[in-house]
Amino acid sequence: MSTHPSGTVLPLSALVGKRRRLQDSRINMAHGSGGKAMRDLIQDVFVEAFDNPALNALEDQAVFSLASLATHGDRLAFTTDTYVVDPLFFPGGDIGTLAVAGTVNDLAMSGAKPLYLSCGMVLEEGLEVELLRRVVASMKRVADEAGVTIVTGDTKVVERGSADKLFINTAGVGIVPRGVEISASRAQVGDVVIVNGYLGDHGTAILIARNLLALSSDIASDCQPLASLIAAMLQACPDIHCLRDATRGGVATVLNEFAQSSNVAIRLREAALPLREEVKGACEILGLDPLYMANEGKLVAVVPRDAAAAVLAAMRAHPAGVDAAIIGEVGERPAGIVVLQTAFGGERIVDMLVGEQLPRIC
């Protein structure tokens, strides 16, 4: 028990929990050493921002009561994703917004209510602490928006050149409500395909932010958590068949996964695809296909035809689904294949990408 200079007794927690301001302006190897520098970093940057009882306890793990989890449903959803993006900040978001929204969305695509996230950080020696604070603040903001808590974490520092500034891993758990059975293998003949808005914004924003093209545009990433949108959709139709977020590989990749897992054909109508002029323009210049461009706040849903109107209405009433649209339908043949009915009147296959989309020479 310590004694205050004035003679009054100070509670122990006031000392242990005391937050020391981190002195350094850049990350150095000591911040990953397990000693005082690391403790200061954790206290001043992470605990300060994320601030919740489970994390503040600074145990090696967060512990939850099973009974309280079970109030949300009957199955646990568990996922992990690692975020590496260049540049770290881009119009519409940063690596922190991605790291939270991405994992929240991966949980939510099962219909789960996302609850808790972990946060693992790999920091490159020399990283500016101020930049890290901005990223962490973004994580906190999106976590609050999505109704999740970041309850445990880990920090590693690697030597300059061994990582590119900052990598983040987040894992998450959520609870799937009873009766919800969403799976890529459940698309059925007659179902319709719905997206929640404009496609390809994130991929285009990143391309332009890298500034390799000397293009300028005010297009912003669509990075956003989708859990509450999905909750609204499930309310309109608890029997949503397939749901996936169209991140890397875009809508085309997700639909190919659905078509193959469900052994059905999916036909898209090019004229129905919600695409911004800027995205069409950038893709046109580079010879890229917006169907393969990454999104960070877009989902693809396959729903029974009878429920399509109700789901679409629920989506359009939600801020993350204002521009929702029906883009296609599920059929029998050719099984396992996605077909695009071009606005021009022809048809073509939309296949999985082999590697990265590469700009064409001429």
Partner 1 sequence: MKYVDEFRDPEKARALSAEIRALIKTMPQARTRPLQIMEVCGGHTHTIFRYGIQQLLPEEVEFVHGPGCPVCVLPMGRVDDCVALAQRPEVIFTTFGDAMRVPGSKLSLLRAKAEGADVRMVYSPLDALKLAQANPSREVIFFGLGFETTMPSTAMTILQAQAMGLKNFSLFCNHITIIPTIKAILDSPDLHLDGFLGPGHVSMVIGTRPYQFIARDYGKPIVAAGFEPLDILQSVWMVLKQIAEGRAEVENQYGRVVPENGNAAALAAVQEVFELREFFEWRGLGSIDHSGVRVRAKYAAFDAEHKFPVPNLKIADPKSCQCGEVLKGVIKPQQCKVFGSACTPETPLGSLMVSSEGACAAHYNYGRVDTGFKRGGDEAARKVAA
Give residues in contact with partner 1 (CB under 8 A): 189-190, 192, 212-213, 265, 267, 269, 272, 277, 280-281, 284, 286-287, 305, 308-309, 326-329, 331-334, 337, 339, 341-349, 351, 354-355, 358-362
Q: Strands of 50-108 (E only): list them.
A: 75-83, 89-90, 93-94
Question: Of 27 and 307, which CB lies nearer to partner 1 in the complex structure?
Answer: 307
Instruction: Give the integer Cα–Cα distance in Å for 12 and 228.
Output: 41
Nearer to partner 1, 7 or 355 (CB): 355
Q: Measured from the CB of residue 107, what is the shortest distance to partner 1 in angstroms?
A: 29
Q: Which is nearer to partner 1, 132 or 252 (CB)?
A: 252
Q: How far is the CB of 357 from partner 1 (least distance, A)?
A: 9
**Beta carbons of 180 and 111 less than 8 angstroms apart:** yes
SS3 322: coil
Which CB, 107 or 265, lies closer to partner 1?
265
C-beta of 231 vs 309, nearer to partner 1: 309
C-beta of 267: minimal distance to partner 1 in Å?
A: 5
Give the integer Cα–Cα distance in Å for 160 and 40.
Answer: 21
CA distance 225 to 138: 13
Could you tell me which residues come within 8 angstroms of residue 187 by beta carbon, excluding any fewer than 6 positions away?
Answer: 241, 242, 258, 259, 261, 262, 264, 266, 302, 330
In the complex, least distance from residue 360 CB atom to partner 1, rounded to whole angstroms: 5
What are 276's two structure tokens? 């911004």
Instruction: Please report, as a single letter, which amino acid is at residue 76.
Output: L
Encoded tokens for 169? 């891993």
Least Å from the CB of residue 200 to partner 1: 13
